[in-house]
Amino acid sequence: MTSTRRTAAALAALGFSVLSAGVSAQTVDVQGAWARATVQGQKATGAFMTLTAQSAGRLVAVSSPVAGVAEVHEMKMNGDVMQMRALSNGLELPAGKAVELKPGGYHVMLMDLKLPLQKDTTVPLTLVFKDAKGVETKKELKVPVSQTAPAGAAAGGMHGDHGAKGHGTASAPKGSDSEQIAAVMKKQFDRPDAPLSVAPVTVLGNYAVAGWIQGGKGGRALMQKDTNGWFISVCAGDGLKDAKVLQTTGMPLDHAAKLAAAVNAAEAKLSKEQLALFASFEGMLKVGPAGHGAAGGHGASTGHGAHKH
């Protein structure tokens, strides 16, 4: 127990409320809160909202009865890899300024989930704020659960609506082929609680092979380009650096041989550990352009980990 808490408790015992004792309690406005729905077996998800503190303070702790562990996280680009970490000192809330917690940015991470978060239900969430004087206040919320950001909520960054949109309905990713491929894969599989890293990407004509790692798992994706842009054709492991296996996906043999050689060259400088992760994807999973946006089908909400059996 901190001394301020003891003081507050003592004042309360004497019949004073903390407010009337002249200690300014933190008032924080919460708008558009929502938590992302999960599927059976998924152990983590994110909760998002916009916070506006009347006076400067911090969001120092979060808790929910549905989660064994709840933390305030930030997502940051480290080189070209998106990483997520807990804010050990809490999230700063400048006076009067709206701070958005949204997919791809700051978020409340709910981990060790005790049960799946079902769409159209609510989950209790407790936010603990600390003002400039160190006084803590709690705010209890009932947060609606949904698959994507509700209208009016802080719109998602790269995580927004993943899996919900079909091939070609969203604006096509811009940039080089590798950038577009990474964007397409992240759109489908990146999650706040399991960031996806994509590299290396080996492009040959309208085909490419991209290595990926997510949450201690990995594999390779065969990408194909049609008039709507790049899409995930096949998910596999070491097969995608083997010309004979590539040929079975419908690629001409000479193209398959060239692509396999290019993939092996691109991966030549990778560590044994990274190559072992790419190899760890068992079997081959056909995705194809129709797989785009098939929420649930290719694990749009469960991530790549789901199809390693």
Q: CA dist 279 to 210, 220, 274, 291, Å? A: 13, 8, 9, 23
* Spatial separation of the C-alpha atoms in residues 183 and 62, rounded to whole Å: 31
Helical spans, DSSP H, in the chain: 3-13, 177-189, 243-247, 253-266, 272-279
Give a three-class secondary structure readout of 235-258: EECHHHHCHHHHHCCCCCHHHHHH
Which position among 36, 58, 73, 102 is part of the footprint of Cu ion (CB under 5 A)?
Answer: 73
Nearer to Cu ion, 128 or 266 (CB): 128
Region of residue 205 (left: phi > 0; alpha: psi -120 to 50; beta: else):
left
**Min separation Cβ 74 and Cu ion, Å:** 8
**Min separation Cβ 101 and Cu ion, Å:** 10
- Residues whose CB falls within 8 Å of the CB of residue 268, separated by 6 or more in sequence, listed in order: none
**Min separation Cβ 171 and Cu ion, Å:** 26
Nearer to Cu ion, 109 or 154 (CB): 109
- Site residues for Cu ion, 100-159, by CB under 5 A, read 109
Segment near Cu ion (CB under 5 A), from 71-79, 131-139, 210-218, 275-283?
A: 71-79
Rg of the chain on CA atoms, in Å: 23
Segment near Cu ion (CB under 5 A), from 53-61, 77-85, 225-233, 265-273?
A: 77-85
Report residue 108: phi and psi, to 5°.
-90, 125
Looking at beta carbons, which residue is closest to Cu ion?
Answer: 73
8 makes contact with Cu ion (CB under 5 A): no
**Min separation Cβ 42 and Cu ion, Å:** 14
Pairing assessment for the beta strands 207-214 and 107-113 based on DSSP bridges:
unpaired
Nearer to Cu ion, 160 or 168 (CB): 160
**Min separation Cβ 35 and Cu ion, Å:** 13
Q: CA dist 304 to 200, 220, 236, 275, 289, Å? A: 17, 11, 11, 17, 17
* Spatial separation of the C-alpha atoms in residues 264 and 241, rounded to whole Å: 6
Nearer to Cu ion, 109 or 185 (CB): 109
Nearer to Cu ion, 76 or 97 (CB): 76
**Min separation Cβ 168 and Cu ion, Å:** 30
Segment near Cu ion (CB under 5 A), from 78-86, 97-105, 152-160, 296-304?
A: 78-86
Segment near Cu ion (CB under 5 A), from 17-25, 70-78, 129-137, 301-309?
A: 70-78
**Min separation Cβ 49 and Cu ion, Å:** 14
**Min separation Cβ 108 and Cu ion, Å:** 8
Nearer to Cu ion, 36 or 241 (CB): 36
Nearer to Cu ion, 73 or 298 (CB): 73
Nearer to Cu ion, 73 or 292 (CB): 73
Q: What's the one-letter identity of residue 47? A: A
* Spatial separation of the C-alpha atoms in residues 297 and 116, rounded to whole Å: 18
84 makes contact with Cu ion (CB under 5 A): yes
Number of residues that bind Cu ion (CB under 5 A): 4
x-or-dash pattern for Cu ion, window 175-204, by CB under 5 A?
A: -----------------x------------
Q: Do residues 143 and 123 touch, judged by C-beta distance below 8 A?
A: yes
Q: Do residues 163 and 300 touch, judged by C-beta distance below 8 A?
A: yes
Positions touching Cu ion (CB under 5 A) are 73, 84, 109, 192
